[in-house]
Amino acid sequence: MGAVSLPITLAPLDVAHAEAMLHWTSEPDIAKNLGLRSDPTMERTLAYVQRAKTDPSYSAWAIMLADVHVGNVILDQIDRRTEKARLHIYLGAVAARGQGVGKCAVSLAVKVAFEELGLQKVWLTVHENNAAAIAAYRAVGFQLEGTHRKEFLLDDVLVDELYMGILRSDSRP
């Protein structure tokens, strides 16, 4: 995997990102890997963006590669009491994949979680067949914490879902 030579930043998710989000989540491969259970619509996409902007249990960003929106990374289920949150990510722009963009975006989101939000843990789930994502999460410092057997429906087959986490004390400088 080649190194990314273009700047990757996170911008607060906004309605301006909704059209690209709808396009990407309408793509069968992205919808499948996200585990979407209903067809995306602009109305649902806008409602999601609005919720992400106003709900204190969300922190959502557009992944920007040289000022072009290429995907999203989201912390949700932010629990201030237990100081943890769940992470989601997807790269919609095909050209952004395989360059380390996702790994960099995950690293930036984890940094925000620990340094700005004061969280102690970030966790995620990923289906066992998503080898590229698993490798990226491990490279950032996520560790396998458990397996949810036959939990994720992928191509009409139940596959294992991996539960991974990173603690503030695990994070790399």
Question: What pTM did the predictor assign?
Answer: 0.88
All structural domains of the chain, each given as residue ranges with its CATH number in brackets, are: 8-170 (3.40.630.30)
Model confidence at 1: pLDDT above 50: no
HSE-up (13 A, CA, CB side) for residue 4? 18
How is residue 112 annotated by DSSP? I
Task: Please name the amino acid found at residue 158.
Answer: L
CB atoms within 10 A of CB 55: 12
pLDDT per position as a tens digit, 19-68 = 999 999 888 888 877 777 788 999 999 999 999 999 999 999 999 998 89
